[in-house]
Amino acid sequence: MTFKFLEHTADLKIRVEEKSLDMAFISSALALKEAIVEKTKIKPLLKKKIKVSGSDLSSLLYNFIEEFLFLLDAKSFLLSEIDSFKLDRKKFKIIAQISGDSAKNYKFSNDVKAITYNEMKIKQNKDKGKVIIEFVLDV
């Protein structure tokens, strides 16, 4: 899992670098969790299956991250880990099995309101075996 927080005026910008698109999406979700609870280990007590789709990779990433924010706001579910992950690149769909815990058991370091399309980038360099994702969270 490789990600870092970048300087941004009012929001939180994240850059993910991984060897594959699948791992980059997974690390993006884990970076969101880190933005919410900074260095806190979330117990994997609850399991959920999520299905997300989009019209292209950017909308798929947006909807994927938004799904975790929806689970947090509507179901008080805080992500711990992604147990299984399947990305259909042709149909722009993700099916994942995730683990987490009730959000009420943790102290938040940031109140993440939403992911934005502002400054969102997905770059795939197949020659170098590297995928870079950047996105901004509204905090």
Lowest mean pLDDT among 5-19, 20-34, 82-96: 5-19
Residue range 15-39: mean pLDDT, rounded: 96
pLDDT at 128: 78
Asked if residue 31 has pLDDT above 90, the reply is yes
Q: Is the pLDDT of residue 127 over 80?
A: no
Domain ranges for the chain, please list them: 3-138
Q: What is the pLDDT of residue 3?
A: 81
pLDDT at residue 108 is higher than 70: yes
The DSSP bridge pattern shows strands 93-102 and 46-53 to be antiparallel
| pLDDT over threshold 70, residue 1 | no
Q: Tell me the CATH number for domain 3-138.
A: 3.55.10.10
CA-CA distance, 133 to 139, in Å (whole number)?
Answer: 19
Dihedral over alpha carbons 68, 69, 71, 77 (to 10 degrees): 80
Q: What is the pLDDT of residue 41?
A: 96
Does 2 score more than 80 pLDDT? no
- Are 139 and 12 within 8 A, CB to CB? yes
Q: Does residue 8 carry a pLDDT above 80?
A: no
